[in-house]
Chain A
Amino acid sequence: DSGVTQTPKHLITATGQRVTLRCSPRSGDLSVYWYQQSLDQGLQFLIHYYNGEERAKGNILERFSAQQFPDLHSELNLSSLELGDSALYFCASSATRGQGYGYTFGSGTRLTVV
């Protein structure tokens, strides 16, 4: 157990639907990062939140949105789903912005769009 909790582990849904992925960071970590990993691909950065504020955006589609709540958990919302959105979605947390600490990844949510 890495200390970063992602739910659900698996999600199967139909095209056009909307889903919410949830991430709870390690205790004390203020930063949450979301990544998308398609089959046999690398880690595509989506978005970074620090203590409730959006800090950086990567190649995140307009159909996707995220937020970080006061208790520091984060949710990634994916809407109008397409077949190509099928992927493994990871969140990661890190200790302190500006300190160069490595990420700790959650176990991921495997999304399958049918």
Chain B
Amino acid sequence: GENVEQHPSTLSVQEGDSAVIKCTYSDSASNYFPWYKQELGKRPQLIIDIRSNVGEKKDQRIAVTLNKTAKHFSLHITETQPEDSAVYFCAASGSFQKLVFGTGTRLLVSP
């Protein structure tokens, strides 16, 4: 069935360092891969997404890479700031374009 694995479950970095979160997916038909940021007690918010015809996408300090052959994609955050602290979810499109979410990564950026 459709499955998305996400690693690590927690990630602690110092302010200014880079952070990388990795996901693998099982459905070779997946063609859309969004990333969501969820602050404590708030709704998940889309921060960046990538489609299967693109290998990399950047938006200021965040970037996402996709390797369709290996069925994995990654979120890269550079020059991390304390306000980047949150839970990050990756997702992959499944049947009927339902998104299948990873289990989340809790990122803590220490000043």
Q: Interface of A with B (CB < 8 Å)?
A: 2, 31, 33, 42-43, 45, 48, 50, 55-56, 88, 90, 94, 97-108
Contacts and interface: CB of A to CB of B under 8 A. Distances in A.
Interface string B77-111: 00000000000010001011111111110000000
Contact of A102 (B49, B95, B100): B49
Contact of B97 (A42, A98, A104): A98
B43 A99 contact: no
A100 B51 contact: yes
Interface of B: 31-32, 34, 36, 41-46, 49, 51, 89, 93, 95-104
A31 B41 CA distance: 24
What 3 A-B pairs are tightest by C-beta distance, nearest first? Answer: A100-B32, A105-B43, A102-B34
Contacts of A56: 95-96, 98
Contact of A104 (B42, B46, B93, B104): B46
Contacts of B49: 102
B43 to A, nearest CB: 4
B31 A100 contact: yes
B87 to A, nearest CB: 9
A81 to B, nearest CB: 21
B98 A45 contact: yes
B89 A42 contact: yes
Given A48-B98, A99-B97, A100-B31, A107 B46 contact: no
A43 B89 contact: yes
B53 to A, nearest CB: 11
Nearest to A107: B43
A100 B97 contact: yes
Given A2-B43, A90-B43, 16 more contacts: A42-B101, A43-B44, A43-B101, A43-B104, A55-B96, A55-B98, A56-B96, A88-B41, A90-B44, A101-B97, A102-B49, A103-B34, A103-B99, A104-B46, A107-B42, A108-B43
